[in-house]
């Protein structure tokens, strides 16, 4: 039997004092890449354990989706023996991650300054909603940040109400930013021998993640507005109606627009000064759109999908999740894995020499508690 190579983060011990989404997502990614992650839970367990429906055998699939490859220990920080265990875990860890309200762990001696005094090599990551300053007391819910950041003002039909995104997008983004920060701090520690405090907050992640929209405001003084599925700077770049529904059609540059016109039999449009360049097409989208829609109405979604792709035009059907998973499988991306018999979504990073691991299923509450407490007290 061939020995599976150790993951790129093998040998790292991560003390995970986070719960809900941003922190657990970050630590699952680290665990997939070989880190040993100990999930510290309150006696009641991570809130997402009870976020049902949907479920698998009575366990929330929300919880299952972000907690594989970890071991669980339940510690009541108000219990002196359990608190000593938590402090010892922090002392031994390479990385500690938490998403309590800023300053919330100080009364337990688990804040950065106290942990760092006992473990100067610790990379200590804190995730909050609005940072440790004036926003420290604000609860850090993704929906709040979607509203406050401006994302909801951009989501929905122009004449309709603002909408939240279909996922907790800034929780996920903050988890990714936390992972990047942790890895950067570990690289710094490798060079210098010292750890540091890494801080991420949802609002800063949101403003960074709004990319062209936030840049349009801070660099150009433009406040964007809801455009439905339209793009403020490109056309076409949206769903367009076809004979049996809609198809995403994209002309991300002038060359792609020429290919689109060729596939639709509308080559004369490429010489029209209103449509020759991207900025021209964007300015005259109300004129161009009905011309494209009229021609697209002559064939079905599947017909246009294959014809446009063959012509080099980016396009896509609007799938439900099952269709997305199926297409990923058809493309050989192997999107579904099993960790200890529990299905999950593959880690998105591929390594040529140290692949991600899928060894442990998401743990039951305190599943490894006896073993971990014995180790910490030895």
DSSP-derived secondary structure for 13-68: EEEEE--SSHHHHHHHHHHHTT-EEEEEE-TT--GGGG--SSEETTEEHHHHTT-T
Number of neighbouring beta carbons within 10 Å of residue 218: 10
Rounded to an integer, what distance in angstroms lies between the CA atom of residue 225 and that of residue 222? 9
Half-sphere exposure at residue 339, Cβ-oriented, CA atoms within 13 angstroms: 23
Rounded to an integer, what distance in angstroms lies between the CA atom of residue 214 and that of residue 221? 10
18 neighbors 24 (Cβ within 8 angstroms) = yes
**Catalytic position from the list 46, 111, 171, 366:** 171
Rounded to an integer, what distance in angstroms lies between the CA atom of residue 236 and that of residue 285? 8
Number of neighbouring beta carbons within 10 Å of residue 217: 15
Q: What is the chain's alpha carbon radius of gyration, rounded to the nearest angstrom?
A: 25
Number of neighbouring beta carbons within 10 Å of residue 102: 22
CA pseudo-torsion sign 317, 63, 377, 375: negative
Rounded to an integer, what distance in angstroms lies between the CA atom of residue 140 and that of residue 282? 38
227 neighbors 158 (Cβ within 8 angstroms) = yes
Closest CA to 337 of 359, 322, 352, 319: 359
Please say if 171 is a catalytic residue: yes
Question: How many Å from the N-terminal Cα to the C-terminal Cα in the chain?
Answer: 34
37 neighbors 70 (Cβ within 8 angstroms) = yes
Rounded to an integer, what distance in angstroms lies between the CA atom of residue 65 and that of residue 123? 25
Q: What letter would DSSP give residue 363? A: P
Rounded to an integer, what distance in angstroms lies between the CA atom of residue 18 and that of residue 27? 9
Residues with a known catalytic role: 171
């Amino acid at each position: 039997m061939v020995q599976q190579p150790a993951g790129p983060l093998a040998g790292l011990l991560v003390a995970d004092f986070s719960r809900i989404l941003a922190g657990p997502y970050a630590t699952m990614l680290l665990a997939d890449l070989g880190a040993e992650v100990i999930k510290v839970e309150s006696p009641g367990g991570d809130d997402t354990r009870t976020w049902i429906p949907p479920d698998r055998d009575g366990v929330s699939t929300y919880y299952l989706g972000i907690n594989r490859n970890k071991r669980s220990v339940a510690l009541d920080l108000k219990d002196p023996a359990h608190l000593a265990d938590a402090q010892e875990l922090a002392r031994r860890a390479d990385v500690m991650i938490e998403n309590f309200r800023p300053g919330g762990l100080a009364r337990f001696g688990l804040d950065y300054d106290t942990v760092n005094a006992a473990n100067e090599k610790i990379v200590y990551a804190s995730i909050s909603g609005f940072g440790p300053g004036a926003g420290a007391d604000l609860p850090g819910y993704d929906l709040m940040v979607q509203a406050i950041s401006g994302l909801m003002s951009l989501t929905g039909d122009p004449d309709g109400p603002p909408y939240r995104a279909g996922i907790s997008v800034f929780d996920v983004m903050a988890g990714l930013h936390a992972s990047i920060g942790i890895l950067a701090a570990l690289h710094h520690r490798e060079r210098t021998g010292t750890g540091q405090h890494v801080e991420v907050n949802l609002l800063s992640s949101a403003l960074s993640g709004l990319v062209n929209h936030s840049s349009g405001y801070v660099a150009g003084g433009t406040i964007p507005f809801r455009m439905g599925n339209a793009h403020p700077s490109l056309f076409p770049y949206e769903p367009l109606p076809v004979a049996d529904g809609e198809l995403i059609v994209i002309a991300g540059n002038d060359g792609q627009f020429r290919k689109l016109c060729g596939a639709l039999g509308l080559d004369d449009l490429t010489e029209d000064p209103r449509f020759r360049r991207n900025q021209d097409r964007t300015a005259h989208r109300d004129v161009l759109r009905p011309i494209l829609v009229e021609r697209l109405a002559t064939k079905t979604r599947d017909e246009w999908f294959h014809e446009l792709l063959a012509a080099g035009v980016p396009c896509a059907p609007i799938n439900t999740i099952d269709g997305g998973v199926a297409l990923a499988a058809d493309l050989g991306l192997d999107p579904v894995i099993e960790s200890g018999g529990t299905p999950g979504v593959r880690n998105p990073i591929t390594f040529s020499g140290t692949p991600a691991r899928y060894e442990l299923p998401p743990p039951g509450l305190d599943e490894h508690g006896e073993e971990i407490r014995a180790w910490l007290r030895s």
